Chain A
């Protein structure tokens, strides 16, 4: 639970078995020799759900598929398989029904299963904030043009005056005040923090239900990170959107997120309440991540700290068999030394993400609940 705890609403998103595999381009020689087609398995079977006003965090090292997972919800990457059931707002639903989309019981729409034309109205409800505020704004548009685009595309605000009013209001919401000072400027005239506020304004101007925030503060100066996070939290309070918050920084995750999902090589290995996971991690990988958080107290810096993890991330083309974490796992190493049953299980069978009670899930054979869920005990 975040320290900015607020009441969560109904469920609005259910992702089930999401897979995003990018084919590796083969050379001519490989084609002639009939080598099998290889895939980068960026996201390899991810399931989670989100509620209204929830801040759900995906954490993991770079290359673990967290950004790809986020982008797939906006259909910016080709989805290989899986479902994403989303509950659009009422107006969007009406638009969709006019286009001939029938929602399932409870108003769910599978956004991966819509043709692009029918997905367009949903884009208003799912928006994205990018990591790099220097790259995410068109350098040739003034701030007001950048913010007017979503309104024009989705037909929000009937007249130019109405749109300008909305733009002003949104700029004030992200604390770019006075708004009239900013509308006629170009992105390169703003600082990084100001640009990121513009990017946030662009994402929220259409009043979305879900915002995918891809490391929105990691490229900013530390001194303005807190301000930007504050803006995001205030917006959630005022407008009631949910955030899929992508970060590699567990400290930030703990600060603002309700729940955390830890990803490793394209899969969620642990999921649950943010503070509980950080206080008491269950998966060996999560333990290693938490051990790597820098300690602000200089007294604790006695030589090198021991990190309970080995080696480096394998590449996503040749994912290790069985539990994909086992070659780096300290617990597995111990099991091999002691000769316990896990020594054969880990490299052979992939653990499912199983409920261990209290809303927490983990995918590791160390836990009895996981072995039971797989029918092994």
Chain B
């Protein structure tokens, strides 16, 4: 695969590797992905089964991060939490990207009145504060892992639609698109082989930035009781449970809190780095 890369891609990767934000953010994200993948191998306890006789213990050599009110090992739960958070964020963003890109591409390519109509709907959705829209969707579809994914996808969707539409509008005016028309390419081919592949940079950057934000939103939904439900180890849900033991068992919120912060930071740094490299308007 490496050998097949176009020189353009290779240059891009070299630039990325020289970017400081990306150099810090990418390993963090990678570490969390690996952590999520190998969670069953490195966790000493079952994350959902507790031992009441060991409830609310502070960190020790037996329980590195201590235990919660039901005697569950917080280290195991936090590591498993990376898995849930990443699944929710990635799947939710993927959903938003697919829907948003198709919607935005249709709007931008069709232009005129279709574009006007489709974009006014997006305006309405964008007028809601992010979290409110997510809460609204979560409240409609109900709690649960799959439903959090849908909520994350739905609240991110209008942004991707707007971004894609903007990029498509710009690329559609380029000469090679008109040249494709001149040789007789079909509209389908022009949109999917000429316009969309050249409109993806802003979507990639925004996708990375929104993944971080979506982890936070998913956690917030769970914290509010609208997302993933206990006993599933989810950072937001864990912090919610920790509220009642805020002062006597701070390990219950400190560790998931740190993990949450670092993951989001990782995604944001990585997104900033991508933006620096991919956005042609920013020059070092």
Contacts and interface: CB of A to CB of B under 8 A. Distances in A.
A186 B184 contact: no
Contact of A140 (B7, B179, B182, B197): B197
Interface string B159-178: 00000000000000011101
A150 interface: yes
Interface in A150-189: 150, 153-154, 186, 188-189
B110 to A, nearest CB: 16
A120 interface: yes
Interface string B175-198: 110111111110000000010011
Nearest to A71: B178
A132 interface: yes
B248 to A, nearest CB: 59
Classify chain A: how many residues form its interface, as a range: 20 to 34
B175 A127 contact: no
B7 A137 contact: no
A217 B194 CA distance: 25
Contact of A135 (B6, B174, B197): B174
B8 interface: yes
Interface string A124-148: 1001101010011111100000000
A76 B183 contact: no
Contacts of B194: 138
B129 to A, nearest CB: 29
B181 A149 contact: no
Contacts of A330: none
A211 to B, nearest CB: 11
Contact of A153 (B7, B176, B185, B198): B185
A324 interface: no
Contacts of B179: 128, 130, 136-137, 199, 202
B182 A186 contact: no
Nearest to A133: B175
A104 B176 CA distance: 34
Contacts of A149: 180, 183, 185
B224 to A, nearest CB: 42
Contacts of A138: 176, 180, 194, 198
Contacts of B8: 139, 186, 188
Contacts of B182: 74, 76, 123, 127-128
A140 B198 contact: yes
Contacts of A135: 174-176
Interface string B184-219: 110000000010011000000000000000000000
Interface string B1-29: 00000111000000000000000000000
Contacts, number: 53
B183 A127 contact: yes
A252 B110 CA distance: 39
A137 B182 CA distance: 13
B7 A186 contact: yes
A313 B219 CA distance: 62
B198 A139 contact: yes
Contacts of A153: 183-185
A107 B176 CA distance: 32
A74 B198 CA distance: 24
Interface string B85-108: 000000000000000000000000
Interface string A337-369: 000000000000000000000000000000000
A83 to B, nearest CB: 21
Contacts of B174: 135
A129 to B, nearest CB: 9
Interface in A201-247: 202, 206
A139 B7 CA distance: 12
B55 to A, nearest CB: 58
B199 to A, nearest CB: 11
A154 B184 contact: yes
A231 B180 CA distance: 23
B180 to A, nearest CB: 7
Contacts of B175: 130, 132, 135-136
A188 B197 CA distance: 16
Interface string A67-111: 000000010100000000000000000000000000000000000
A124 B194 CA distance: 20
Given A130-B175, A132-B175, A136-B176, 6 more contacts: A76-B182, A138-B198, A139-B8, A140-B198, A150-B184, A186-B7
25 contacts: A74-B182, A76-B181, A123-B182, A123-B184, A124-B184, A128-B179, A130-B178, A135-B174, A136-B176, A138-B176, A138-B180, A138-B194, A139-B176, A140-B197, A140-B198, A149-B180, A150-B183, A150-B184, A153-B183, A153-B185, A154-B183, A154-B184, A186-B6, A186-B8, A188-B8
Interface of B: 6-8, 174-176, 178-185, 194, 197-198
Interface of A: 74, 76, 120, 123-124, 127-128, 130, 132, 135-140, 149-150, 153-154, 186, 188-189, 199, 202, 206
